[in-house]
Structure 1
Amino acid sequence: MLQRSRRTWVLFLLPATAIYGTFILYPLVRGVLLSFTDNTGGPSSNFVGTEQYRKLFDDPQVVDALKHTVLYAAVVLVVQTGLGLLAASILARRPRVRRVVSNILLLPALISPVMASFIWSYLYRPDGGINAFLGDIGLGRLQQVWLGDPSIALFAVAAVNIWMFVGYSCVIFLAGYAGIPQDALDAAAIDGANGWQRFRGIEWPMLAPALTVNVTLSLIGTLGVFDFPFVLTGGGPMGSTSTLTMLIYRDIFTRTDFGQGAAAAVVLLVLVLVVSSAAGSLLRRRERAI
């Protein structure tokens, strides 16, 4: 009976295992092996060891792209998570409008990133909606060439990412709020704790699992960002918004240097795994300590 049960499990697992191996494991292993060759898209290639990785880190454009990627991820992580937490904290206290407002915040996520980027590219134009609005309300001194200034272009691109996904962060935190016992909040209020004290002493510790989910998803998404900078700036101006994914695209589709592109992809994979795993481990340790 036990042997038949095991056979049944194996039969159920085979389709999923075959799909996973074909579309995930095989491309992953093939990409790693490709990064140790000088393949340029042809049928033959030579093994070059770690030469592609050496060339990668000797390229100042790659180093700059790595810095931009990390900075972009940090900005989006902090601002998006903070705004999502703020919105969730407000909505948790206003059940009458919670569903409507949270749905409104989620609306941008229904748009494709490419379409959202095109919309914001018009808003960011020197004669676009943002500068026009600033001029109309008497803040003309704040008008900028948003996507043409190397000092602010990366932050302008990050703002589109934040606008699009802050609703996700809010909804995740609202799910965390749903797990906070109302009795604990009522008891704290009876003891004289104000809103900030209740948030700091009860809500923030109990939102730890929601924070872990938000941080992990944000890091994975932003470290691999491609569509927003590609559509909005193409990596410019002066390479100030180039990211690792854009260099991978350049090496594979423009230079047809498959070995170099695969090496950059492996570096990106390691970066995502290390950063997200480290952040997740620290946050889960915090959860257990609470």
Structure 2
Amino acid sequence: MFRRRGRYASIVLILPALAVYGLFILYPLVRGVLLSFTDNTGGPTDAFVGLKQYSALIHDPTALQALRHTVIYAAVVLVVQTGLGLSAAALLSRRPHIRRVVSSMLLLPALISPVMASFIWSYLYRPDGGIDTLLGDVGLGVLRQTWLGDPSIALYAIAAVNIWMFAGYSCVIFLAGYAGIPAELLDAADIDGATRWQRFRKVEWAMLAPSLTVNVTISLIGSLGVFDFPLVLTNGGPVGSTNTLALLIYRDIFNNSDFAMGAATAVLLLVLVVVVSSAASAVLRRRERVL
């Protein structure tokens, strides 16, 4: 009897959370998928058109370009952000007297909203802004660029803002991994005469596997769905060189009133995020078990 009452109580307690999840997560998801199979343009009626929107999407050069930009952006952010976070964590792990202060300072950019960070960097990237002025002052004026106006580098300039914001977050996750490494392993490596690089490669890198999995998964999910930075910094320009899938969704729905195409693009982005992040997580978790 008591077990049955406990089971009923558990169901009653979880119902509000399930209701909120169903209302704000499941219903919009199902509604969006169904919408992508129609020709809805924002009106009260629509007609079922099957895979027409998806066919148009995969044959749209703008959408394919945005997909390519999204993948390149995610790859750059993943590699550079994870690399910087790991490097900073490796250095700070050996300097406990400054670790707390420096890691807190590295986290500060992540506390700024992406829109505010974009406005700050839009000033820094101006032809007369902080970056070009600094390069001129230190005698590196030859490196000045039209950072957000050159189609060949604009996407990477936006990625740099993302990396600046969240490299410290990545560093803190790796530092948490370092805190879980038994001191006996590090002492044993030192006694065996291992160099810093050997200790990192043979001991630390293996023990940081869970932290790497978390960092890679979070980075992929965030960068594949990037929207704020390209919207504020370039609005997809110049000449579409910073268009992303999330930006296309915004334009289809709010600028073109093409709700069905926007929903189809959103479904494509959802599938991309789920497949890529799940595959990366599965590979890295398998590596954790092997190590």
Give the TM-score normalised by the residue count of structure 1.
Answer: 0.99
Q: CA deviation at 1:52?
A: 0.3
Spell out, residue by residue over 1:27-78, the C-alpha distance to the aligned partner (whole angstroms, 9 max, x if none): 0000000000000111100000000000111110000000000000000000
Correspondence for 2:270: 269
The CA RMSD over aligned residues, in Å, is 0.5
Structure 2: which amino acid aligns with 1:49?
G
- Work out the CA distance in 2 between the residues paired with 1:91 and 1:3: 52
Structure 1 segment 200-219 matched on structure 2, within 5 A: 200-219=201-220
Q: Which residue of 1 aligns with 2:182?
A: 181
Q: Tell me what 1:32 maps to.
A: 33
Map 1:28-177 → 2, pairs under 5 A: 28-177=29-178
Separation (CA, whole Å) in 1 of partners of 2:256 and 2:272? 24
Task: Measure the CA separation in 1 of the matches of 2:141 and 2:5.
Answer: 75
SS at match of 1:48: coil
CA distance in 1, matches of 2:113, 2:81: 18
> Does the residue aligned with 1:183 lie in a helix, a strand or coil?
helix
Partner residue, 1:237: 238
AA of the residue aligned to 1:176: G
Structure 1 residue 118: Cα displacement: 0.3
**What amino acid sits opposite 1:253 in the alignment?**
F
- Could you tell me which amino acid in structure 2 is paired with residue 150 of structure 1? P
Displacement of 1:6: 1.1
Secondary structure of the corresponding residue to residue 181 of structure 2 = coil
The whole-number CA distance in structure 2 between the counterparts of 1:229 and 1:87 is 27
The Cα offsets for residues 237-265 of structure 1, whole Å up to 9 and x where unpaired, read as 01000000000001000000000000000
Query: Which residue of structure 2 lines up, in the alignment, with residue 256 of structure 1?
Result: 257
- Helix, strand or coil: the match of 1:213? helix
Structure 2 CA distance, aligned partners of 1:59 and 1:279?
28
Question: Residue 184 of structure 1 aligns to which amino acid in structure 2?
Answer: L
Letter in 2 for 1:113: P
Q: Distance in 2 between matches of 1:246 and 1:94?
A: 42
Aligned mates of 1:136, 1:14 — CA distance in 2: 62
**SS of the residue 1:37 aligns to:** coil
Query: Is there any run of 5+ residues in structure 2 with no aligned partner, and where?
Result: none
2:125 and 2:239 map into 1 onto residues whose CA distance is: 18
Match of residue 279 from structure 2: 278
Q: Which amino acid aligns with 1:162?
A: I
Q: CA deviation at 1:4?
A: 1.1
After TM superposition, the score normalised by the length of structure 2 is: 0.99
Task: Give the Cα–Cα distance (whole angstroms) in 2 for the partners of residues 181 and 9 of structure 1.
Answer: 39
Amino acid at match of 1:263: A
Q: Give distance in 1, aligned partners of 2:237 and 2:41.
A: 26
Q: CA deviation at 1:198?
A: 0.3
Whole-Å Cα distance in 1 between the matches of residues 174 and 4 of structure 2? 45
The Cα of 1:5 is off from its aligned counterpart by 1.4
Amino acid across the alignment from 1:145: T
> 2:97 is matched by which residue type in structure 1?
R
2:200 paired with 1:191? no
Whole-angstrom distance in 2 between the partners of 1:191 and 1:254? 65
Q: Distance in 2 between matches of 1:149 and 1:64?
A: 17
Per-residue CA shift, 1:200-253, capped at 9, x if unaligned?
000000000000000000000000000001000000001000000000001000
SS across alignment from 2:242: coil
Q: Distance in 1 between matches of 2:125 and 2:173?
A: 30
C-alpha distance in 2, partners of 1:39/1:3? 48
d(CA) in 2 for partners of 1:13, 1:110: 32
Q: What is the rounded CA distance, in whole Å, between the counterparts of 1:175 and 1:115 in structure 2?
A: 28
CA distance in 1, matches of 2:192, 2:120: 50
For the pair 1:15 / 2:16, whether they are aligned, the reply is yes
Q: Which runs of 4+ in 1 moved over 3 A?
A: none
**Alpha-carbon separation, structure 1, partners of 2:160 and 2:178:** 26
Structure 1 residue identity aligned to 2:253: I
Deviation at 1:3, TM superposition (A): 1.6
Q: Which amino acid aligns with 2:53?
A: Q
